[in-house]
Amino acid sequence: MTYEVEKTEEEWRKQLTPDEYHVLREAGTERAFTGEYTDTKTTGVYECRACGAELFRSDTKFESHCGWPSFYDPADSAAVELLPDRSHGMVRTEVRCARCGSHLGHVFQGEGYPTPTDQRYCINSVSLRLVPRED
């Protein structure tokens, strides 16, 4: 896959902390309930920590109590790419940044949350950077 932002693994390692690199570039997962944005209620825009692309907005964030920040819709459907993920003996849908290909988390559907899309974008805090904004 070709992305607008392309870097070597060495360049990514220099730019990102070890935890950021593990999640964003190696499709890792931060431990539940440890991320800085899990309970954040600040108004703003969530950008990709690797490339700065706008991914989610605070008005689509909701409390799912799953241990990671949850959103019911990306800021723009073209901001993320969805890929089948059959790792760990299950079938899931991986969410990546469409601009740089960084792993963000997974999206789940049909879990019964009272959201307009019936989706839960379960995103690692370490994949995001919150830019506070006033409405």
Query: Which residue is catalytic, options 51, 97, 100, 122?
Result: 122
Distance CA 32, CA 66 (A): 7
18 Cβ partners below 8 Å, 6+ apart? none
Distance CA 29, CA 19 (A): 9
Asked if residues 128 and 47 have their Cβ atoms less than 8 Å apart, the reply is yes
Distance CA 61, CA 82 (A): 19
Tracing tokens 């899990």 back to the chain, one arrives at: 38
Known catalytic membership, residue 97: no
User: Catalytic residue numbers?
Assistant: 122
